[in-house]
Amino acid sequence: MMQEILRAYEERPRHTVRNIIVVSVILFLTIWSTDVINYPGLFENGLDIAKNIFKALFNPSWNLLFSLQVDGIPLLMFQTLGIAFLGTLLGAVLSFPFAFLTARNIVGKFNIIGSTIISIIRSFPFFLIALMFVRVSGPGPMTGVLTIGVLSIGMISKMYIEVIEDIDPSILQSLDALGATRYQKIRYGIMPQLTASIISVIIYRFEINVKNATVLGIVGAGGIGVTLLTAMNAGRWRDTAAALWGIIVVVLIVDYFSTKIRRRLVGGRQ
């Protein structure tokens, strides 16, 4: 079931013309309705800031963009990727017990307990979790890792559950008939059915977490977000543009390779 869902998503029709029309209509209505906005500061300051950032995108701080110093964009993006990777790994590991305690074919009607815990975790806003961990572990990359890890549990657990509930029971029944031990049933009956889908889920969540990790610096959780926020507050628009270009390039690269890998894992187009 999980593989069919992911394959259907990858092969979904691309309604390009329709999407362009919808976006154009929304943009037109947005512009048309601006005359009812009664907030002078938006046009006095906001538009000037947007204009400065847009101009700086064509002439970013090249020294900062390619600097290999600790405060350079490459190393900050590497730190951001590290936060996303370790946080995703933490969330993937912590999600296993929640998933097995919630899958109906494992615990039956008692799955309500695990389902309730997962729903509670999913209900916490992103920045609230980050602020809580800033108080617990202090500002820094570790806070980002913990935030990403906890934030990932809800989604990864849900997708794990779909995979576990889609296990072919006939394989386990055959292993039972052969007298297989519990370990052998897990090793040869369950894991071969789960591995590809679980890896695909983890990669997909990593793709999302890279984007989340870029803004964690706003609350002091490390990564490129610290430089981005500092540069914007100081009005250093070229530094702001350099940070934005670093984020754009890394996100595009991660999106490209994660899509390629997931397509191979689910047997889609290569």
In a domain? residue 122: yes
In a domain? residue 252: yes
Domain that holds residue 202: 2-265
Here the CATH number for the domain that contains residue 11 is 1.10.3720.10
For each of the chain's 270 residues, which pLDDT tens digit applies? 555 655 655 565 656 666 667 777 776 666 666 555 555 555 556 677 777 778 888 888 898 888 888 888 899 999 999 999 999 999 999 998 888 888 887 777 778 888 888 888 888 888 888 888 888 887 888 888 999 999 999 899 988 888 888 887 787 778 778 887 767 777 777 778 888 888 989 999 999 999 888 888 777 777 888 888 888 888 888 998 999 999 999 989 998 888 888 888 766 544
Q: What per-residue confidence (pLDDT) applies to 36?
A: 59
In a domain? residue 64: yes
In a domain? residue 204: yes
Q: What per-residue confidence (pLDDT) applies to 269?
A: 43
Tokens of 212: 């989340």
Burial class of residue 137, CB neighbours in 10 A (0-12, 13-18, 19+): middle
In a domain? residue 95: yes
In a domain? residue 36: yes
Q: What per-residue confidence (pLDDT) applies to 39?
A: 55
DSSP 140: S
Rounded to whole angstroms, the Cα distance separating 112 from 119 reads 10
What residues have CB less than 8 Å from 207, skipping those under 6 apart? 254, 255, 258
Structural domain total, the chain? 1
DSSP 216: G
List the one residue out of 231, 249, 252, 251 whose CA is nearest residue 240.
231
Q: What per-residue confidence (pLDDT) applies to 235?
A: 84
Rounded to whole angstroms, the Cα distance separating 83 from 213 reads 7
Rounded to whole angstroms, the Cα distance separating 219 from 226 reads 8
In a domain? residue 149: yes
In a domain? residue 270: no
